[in-house]
Amino acid sequence: MISVEEARARILAALAATPAETVPLPAGWGRVLAQPVQARLDQPPADVSAMDGYAVRAAEAVAGASLAVIGTAPAGHPFPGEVGPGEAVRIFTGGFVPPGADAILLQEDAEASPGRVQVQETVRPGRWIRRRGLDFAAGEAVLPTGRRLTARDIGLAAAANVPWLAVHRAPRIGILATGDEIALPGDPIPPGGIVSSNAHALAALIRAGGGDPLVLPIAPDDSQAIAAAATAARACDLLVTTGGASVGDHDLVQSALGPQGFTLDFWKIAMRPGKPLIWGRLGATPVLGLPGNPVSALVCSVLFLLPALERLSGLPGAPPRTIRALAGAPLPENDRRFDHLRARLEPGPEGVPVATPFPVQDSSMMKTLARADALILRAPGAAALPEGASIEVIPLGDLGI
Amino acid sequence: MISVEEARARILAALAATPAETVPLPAGWGRVLAQPVQARLDQPPADVSAMDGYAVRAAEAVAGASLAVIGTAPAGHPFPGEVGPGEAVRIFTGGFVPPGADAILLQEDAEASPGRVQVQETVRPGRWIRRRGLDFAAGEAVLPTGRRLTARDIGLAAAANVPWLAVHRAPRIGILATGDEIALPGDPIPPGGIVSSNAHALAALIRAGGGDPLVLPIAPDDSQAIAAAATAARACDLLVTTGGASVGDHDLVQSALGPQGFTLDFWKIAMRPGKPLIWGRLGATPVLGLPGNPVSALVCSVLFLLPALERLSGLPGAPPRTIRALAGAPLPENDRRFDHLRARLEPGPEGVPVATPFPVQDSSMMKTLARADALILRAPGAAALPEGASIEVIPLGDLGI
């Protein structure tokens, strides 16, 4: 058995970012840049006013002075002339500061009369002027390669006058649920069978992680059917299987996939829930074999599939984000397997949440997993902790997972 | 001027959830349930084994006993007979416990020989059996109305044998950028003009919030063009405009939309960045008029548009989630406007992050906003705080915003 950290490191080491594609700006949201976004213009494109007021010559705009208003400069409509001695131009936020002017007289510091304005407060040179290029300059890389684009980034790229983006292709993830006994919801359930919940939970998780899920038809526990479905997944960046990963099944998957060029890296991880996990490669396609148990499959996906999706998407691929919490109940000493306790999160003192494990942690209970707000991390051999101890948890749900 | 809280309350009070639609299970991810999901079966569907081993009669399975193995019960393939006196059935995790058996002998506590098994450890009645309905029972509401569905919830609904879901329709949000001076990225920029960044940043934010954005062509500052575009948006659940909300423009939007049936609720909020904000109704369609300044537009969207999207999606519509942080720099006393300082978040002591405001908070700087990890909340009249003080921040980026 290998550790969770080693398993994740081996998975990440075997994966590379998908190649780049060109997408229109709006399709870039949530994708990872494969090339930097370089500004195509200065922003602001000229010296502009930060306020509504008058563009003036600072040397003249002293309290009590009266200036001739020779025109207006609203945003988008520059004044076509120059501000000469004794003159001012009515200006609005974002309006270009006309040549000759070097300061803004605020409208609340001015007294307007027809064709003229009287200065009530002496202005300071340069005051209330946003300099050309204050936000960014043409040629500047405003967004670096490797960044996952937020809504704000899309706005920044637009402001930089960039209509197309080079981003990593969304990773295409094949999902293969195996088992004679499983049926899709609403389909006839074979005698002794259960409804398959893994494929569509995983598809949603893959979407949440920025991937493009491809749900393959359920493969019966039969070498040929598994091999055929696996072949269909060769166009994928990663094939995820569920079921067929435990002790007895291990040979089945090996014997089914072996002739197709499957090579196994490891298959047992010192963790709970979710010990049996296959990692290998089918020809060129990496294969992640998750347990058939839905709770185990989802916990393993949070720990391994989401980081794998990040790596395929163009990011380094980090362990799931954790936060500090206070234990809402005493925690027993842990054995040698890394444990992930399904827990409720509630607001606690000083902004630190309280994480309380559900009393029954049976790995067959999907309802408990769905109601959990977090997974409490219990490292191998972790000592018993009293209620209120500081613990580390993976918050769930933040990303729709 | 009204407060941020009052503005949000008035916006939420004017909105109602969209009507329900039926979607296939995989399309339910991220949507809000309009009807509960009721389990259509018991889970597990029968008493099943929690481990690999032997289904036995507990009274006989004492250390040293030898039992005849009369068949196997792997998951999905129930043993067709009964376990009689002196008998055992080989069973695997998830296999149905055959009639007659009332306990599981773990495989590591057993010594197998051809056709027989010897008990090494006395079993306890009921041990390692998951009872029928342990996770949920047929008829039970496993997911309530009003829940936004996670990947785990999709798995739970699948396990409950529910292939279709009744969810609130994704809110359709029209986006209308106004202004003579703006052009889309890559389009010719008029003299003195700037590139429009609001429409596509907002479209991404709306997608992040679960909405369905409809980007309308840019409307010049001209009553007729604004009115025509607004008419085109009547099929929307909400129309968002940008620009045309500041002092002088206020009359333009009013005069353009007034004849179309526009009624104004309020338009000035005591906040920074983003004071001018229009809230009203165009016929039956609510209208949120954001400032034209992209930083103000995005901050206002976090504070008002995301909660509005939640309400339209079927949730109550809460203020943006905040976390506690430590001030990374001294904060000056605040004036009467609620301030939202763009800040960097870094890991801090005891898991509490440190939020450091950027030194320049100019509301024209998109690059600063894009690089911010959080907005520091500074309530009206907030006292000056030293470095290290406990503050409240809105984390950005978590949801792709």
Domain membership flag for residue A318: no
Chain A environment of B191 (Cβ under 8 Å): 78
Which residues is B395 bridged to in the sheet? B374
At A247 the pLDDT is 47
DSSP H or E stretch at residue B167: strand B164-168
CB–CB of A283/A235 below 8 Å? Answer: no
Measured between CB atoms, does B89 come within 8 Å of chain A? no
Q: Is B356 in the same domain as B225?
A: no
CA B124 to chain centre: 45
Domain membership flag for residue B400: no
Q: Is A210 in the same domain as A280?
A: yes
Q: Is A255 in the same domain as A291?
A: yes
Instruction: Say how many C-beta atoms besides its own lie within 10 A of residue B130's C-beta.
Output: 22
- Note whether A77 contacts B154, CB cutoff 8 Å: no
- Note whether B197 contacts A158, CB cutoff 8 Å: yes
Structure tokens at A318: 């980090």
* Nearest neighbour of B76 by CB, restricted to A92, A135, A192: A192
At B185 the pLDDT is 96
Please give the residue of chain A at the shortest CA–CA distance from B48: A192
The parent domain of residue B88 ranges over 48-130
Give dist(CA A385, CA A356) in Å, integer.
13
Instruction: Say how many C-beta atoms besides its own lie within 10 A of residue A111's C-beta.
Output: 11
Q: Is B139 in the same domain as B121?
A: no
Residue found under tokens 């890389």? A141
Residue found under tokens 């690059």? B367
Q: Is B208 in the same domain as B288?
A: yes
Domain membership flag for residue B401: no
Measured between CB atoms, does A34 come within 8 Å of chain B? no
Measured between CB atoms, does B45 come within 8 Å of chain A? yes
CB–CB of B320/B302 below 8 Å? Answer: yes
Q: Is B216 in the same domain as B309?
A: yes
Measured between CB atoms, does A98 come within 8 Å of chain B? no
A157/A1: higher pLDDT: A157
Q: Is A309 in the same domain as A200?
A: yes
CB–CB of B154/B25 below 8 Å? Answer: yes
Q: What is the DSSP letter of A284?
A: T
- SS3 of chain B: helix, strand, coil, percent, to 5: 20, 30, 45
For B287, counting Cβ atoms within 10 Å of its Cβ (0-12 exposed, 13-18 middle, 19+ buried), the class is: buried
Write the CATH number for B373: 2.40.340.10
Q: Is A248 in the same domain as A181?
A: yes
Give dist(CA A310, CA A394) in Å, integer.
17
Domain membership flag for residue B318: no
Q: Is B287 in the same domain as B177?
A: yes
- Note whether B135 contacts A366, CB cutoff 8 Å: yes
Q: Which of A82-91, A179-188, A286-295 is modeled with the greatest confidence?
A: A82-91
Task: Give residues 115 to 154 of B whose Cβ lies within 8 Å of A.
Answer: 130, 134-136, 142-143, 148-154
Radius of gyration in angstroms for the set of CA atoms belonging to chain B, rounded to a whole number: 31
Dihedral angle at the C-alpha atoms of A150, A152, A156, A157, nearest 10 degrees?
30
Instruction: Say how many C-beta atoms besides its own lie within 10 A of residue B49's C-beta.
Output: 27
Structure tokens at A82: 């120059």
Domain membership flag for residue B288: yes
Give dist(CA A26, CA B196) in Å, integer.
13
Domain count of the fold of chain B: 4
Chosen for mutation from A150, A173, A299, A371 (greatest number of chain B CBs closer than 10 Å) is A150
Q: Is B92 in the same domain as B67?
A: yes
Measured between CB atoms, does A215 come within 8 Å of chain B? yes
At B295 the pLDDT is 93
Domain endpoint, select from A313, A331, A361: A313
CB–CB of B320/B23 below 8 Å? Answer: no
CA torsion sign for B116, B121, B124, B128 is negative
- Note whether A191 contacts B78, CB cutoff 8 Å: yes
Model confidence at A253, pLDDT cuts 50, 70, 90, reads low
What residue type is A270 in one-letter code?
A
DSSP H or E stretch at residue B238: strand B238-242
At A219 the pLDDT is 85
* Nearest neighbour of B135 by CB, restricted to A135, A364, A401: A364
DSSP B100-165: T--EEEEGGGEEEETTEEEESS---TTTTEEPTTSSB-TT-EEE-TTPBP-HHHHHHHHHTT--EE
Instruction: Say how many C-beta atoms besides its own lie within 10 A of residue A35's C-beta.
Output: 14
CB pairs under 8 A between A and B: 292
DSSP H or E stretch at residue B213: strand B212-215
The values of phi and psi at residue A262, to 5°, are -80, 130
Domain membership flag for residue A400: no
At B8 the pLDDT is 95
Domain membership flag for residue A287: yes
CB–CB of B291/B299 below 8 Å? Answer: no
Write the CATH number for A69: 2.170.190.11
Q: Is B159 in the same domain as B228?
A: no
- Note whether B181 contacts A397, CB cutoff 8 Å: no
CB–CB of A341/A328 below 8 Å? Answer: no
Average pLDDT of each block of 10 consecutive residues along chain B (401 residues)?
A: 92 97 97 98 94 95 96 91 96 93 95 96 94 96 98 97 98 90 91 90 96 92 75 88 62 69 80 84 89 91 97 96 94 94 91 92 91 96 96 88 91
* Residues listed for chain B: 401
Task: Give residues 302 to 321 of A whose Cβ lies within 8 Å of B.
Answer: none
* Nearest neighbour of B130 by CB, restricted to A96, A192, A362: A362
ipTM exceeding the 0.85 mark: yes
- Note whether B93 contacts A184, CB cutoff 8 Å: no
At A251 the pLDDT is 55
- Note whether B152 contacts A41, CB cutoff 8 Å: no
Residue A109's nearest CA partner among A128, A96, A132, A83 is A128
Q: Is A235 in the same domain as A372?
A: no
Measured between CB atoms, does B191 come within 8 Å of chain A? yes
Domain membership flag for residue A401: no
CB–CB of A119/A144 below 8 Å? Answer: no
At B49 the pLDDT is 94
- Note whether A180 contacts B76, CB cutoff 8 Å: yes
Pairing of strands A374-378, A390-395: antiparallel
Write the CATH number for B37: 3.90.105.10
- Note whether A192 contacts B323, CB cutoff 8 Å: no
Write the CATH number for A300: 3.40.980.10
Q: Helices (H), strands (E): how many in chain A? A: 8, 26
At A250 the pLDDT is 46
CB–CB of A210/A312 below 8 Å? Answer: no
Measured between CB atoms, does A218 come within 8 Å of chain B? no
Cα–Cα distances (Å) from A246 to A146, A251, B1, B93, B336, in that order, read 37, 9, 65, 10, 64
Please give the residue of chain A at the shortest CA–CA distance from B205: A151
Chosen for mutation from B367, B396, B401 (greatest number of chain A CBs closer than 10 Å) is B367
Which residues is A276 bridged to in the sheet? A268
